[in-house]
Structure 1
Amino acid sequence: MKISKSKNGLILILFFTLLSFFDLLYPSKGDNVDRIVPQIGRAAFFGVMLVYLFNVKIKGYRIPQPVTGKAIRFLLLLFCVVSLLHLELLLKNLFPFLKVLYWIAGYYCFYYALVSGLVTKRHLNILVVSLVIIYFLVILRDFSNRSLWQGSKNFFVSNNSYHLLKLFPLVLLMRNKFTNVLILLTAIGIVLAFKRGALLAFSIAFAVYYFYILFKVKEKKLLKLIFGIGVFSVSSYYFFLNMDIFLARIEDFENVETAGSGRGRMFTLIINEMLNNDNPLVLLFGNGFYATVDFFQKTIGHSIVAHSDIMEFFFNYGLLGLGVIIFFFYRVFKLFLFFKGTYEGLVIIIWMVVVGLGCSYSINLFAPEMIYAIITLVILEARRIWILNSSAITSPTN
């Protein structure tokens, strides 16, 4: 019996969800942890996406181009062509490079799947509910075993909060009967994880959402006002209760010994190195993919990346890289203009807060988990196409 398109879409969504479930089964830190199963799973899904995209291409399906698609193509061109100019670095960092291609493939895969009807709203509801619950449980699991995370710290920190943060716009966009519960799980997970960047971005994004529903949605205003006062009171109490930890987290911006902090010094080193370089081609085209790893090993003794997409692009791809990032967010802004004044427009604003701040002081565009944020973007792109097609059908002919 031939499998229906709807079942194929469900299989795709369940496969993708399974990859996140592997993160629950196989912790990313701890003694004797083997992450080979999640890695094989993501490699297999990458292969599935490439096969699907190849199938779309050879069959010649005519699918409207998304607004942000031009920026993604420029991004892909930058990663591939300019990286080849520093082939030794590309081969040395091949797996991180493939992780970038993973979410870019996800952009086109999910966009074509949505526009063609392979993936439906029901599938997306299954996806968003499953992913939020899974990553909330991942953080809860790690929180209950703090020895996995303490290291040189005296408090729990989890990078998985950034996954919940990237999913937050998707939660708001889907608007199903579980939305409020998912927002609550997202908020609790991000608070428990205690990542400064995730806390900041979520606080701003949630404030934007709250003031929207307070002033734009007329129903139950008093209840929402009481809710806002309650959230503010609890947040303030939590802040003052953990004041010593917040201060410690702020102080280590200059301390490169805290395994990933020291951003103040790292960013300064990158800017000085690029602006004081005698070779103008380096300022224009950069030093090659993941060149920061060797640079920081020589300067501060840690083989790490810049912990900022903006700084990473600047060092790897020079002014050209910065131009591509600006162009990417410009195209997202153009998508916002299409939805301006609607609920979808609000979601895009929140998306730009979440992803934009993350690109400033963390890694989004160099991480495969960018795919969680990109799903929101392609859903909005697909909705734009549906709106345009509906307008074309209902408009009178000349």
Structure 2
Amino acid sequence: MFGIDRVVLRATISATLLGGLFATNLQAQDAPPPAVVTHQIEVQPIDAPESFTASVEAIESVEIMARIQGFIDEVVFSPGQIVQTGDRLFQIEPKQYQAEVASAQANLAQAEAQRVRAESEANRQQELVNRNAAAQVNLEQARADFQVAEANVQAAQAGVELAQINLGYTTITSPITGKIGQALITKGNFVGPSAGSLAQVVQLDPVRVVFSISEQLLLDMQQSGMAETGAENVNFKLMLSNDTEYAQTGTMEYIDNRVDPATGSIAVRIVYANPDALLLPGQFVTMVIAEKDPQSLPVVPQTAVLQDREGRYVFVVNDDQTVSQKRISTGPRVMNGWAVTEGLAGGEAVVVEGVQRLQDGMAVRVGAQAAEEDTAAIQQDAEGQSTDDAAASDGDAP
């Protein structure tokens, strides 16, 4: 009796399984095409800026020093003051040098008087020789004395000039326009050429921003013309430490003439106007380099891009509601997408949802609602399968 029951049970199970498979095949034949969501490819300007840590340098910086010895009679400036070229900074006591000028001028007057007398004597000896009233040797001596007197005048003139130069050095002026720091010496101190720096003047407008780029980026810039001095197709944007953009526009000054073999980088220098003195030498900033007129390329969402051993690809929906696999080459990232350098032209509808179930040439249904319906159906089938499995488990129980 138990043997007959087992035969009947096996036959029942076999019939059930065959019926399930038959129903599944019918459902597969009647199942609609998979639903997908698409995105239309747009062509956008591709601006992929490069950022670098940079530092601010003064184009001109001067240590103020004394050229002559003397006591400081006056400190004319205030620390932090903006000084112009030629502005008076320090005054050395001038009396000694004024006296030296007066002495040199007296020596010049004496030399000029001696020259007049020597010239007169040479003329007199010439007249005597012409009348055969004097020897030729006397004339030659008179002429030599006149030449000596002439040289003495020139030496005295040089002495006056040197004394006047030294007197001028008693007034120490700024050789450049810039901001002066603290005076390193005060009134009454003795200074001279060996005393060292008295103060420092730093030019603040314009300033130079220095940073380093890689060899590869340098080649890219050279090939695109962005590395030329004064190039107009590149934008040098400067970001300050408070994350604000510096308002002035920078211009390429020059790129260094050698690559650092230790780092493989090369120094670049950009000049910025600095009328408000927001940039100070030694300050760290961020340099952002971008093309002013960037190339326009198709941009594809990252969710649409798949990859295999042959590279990246997307699925494009055709007019007949089928999909085609398109191989693409990508460039820089653009927000949540990729710039496409090859494979797409713009305007295509690429699949961004439902790509995992697709094959080349497969028919699809396009639309977010269709995709939601497919998702709901899949979930319902999964729940139904779980119920069937549970029922089968209960039937097998003794």
TM-score, normalised relative to structure 2: 0.18
Greater helix share, 1 or 2? 1
TM-score, normalised relative to structure 1: 0.18
Greater strand share, 1 or 2? 2
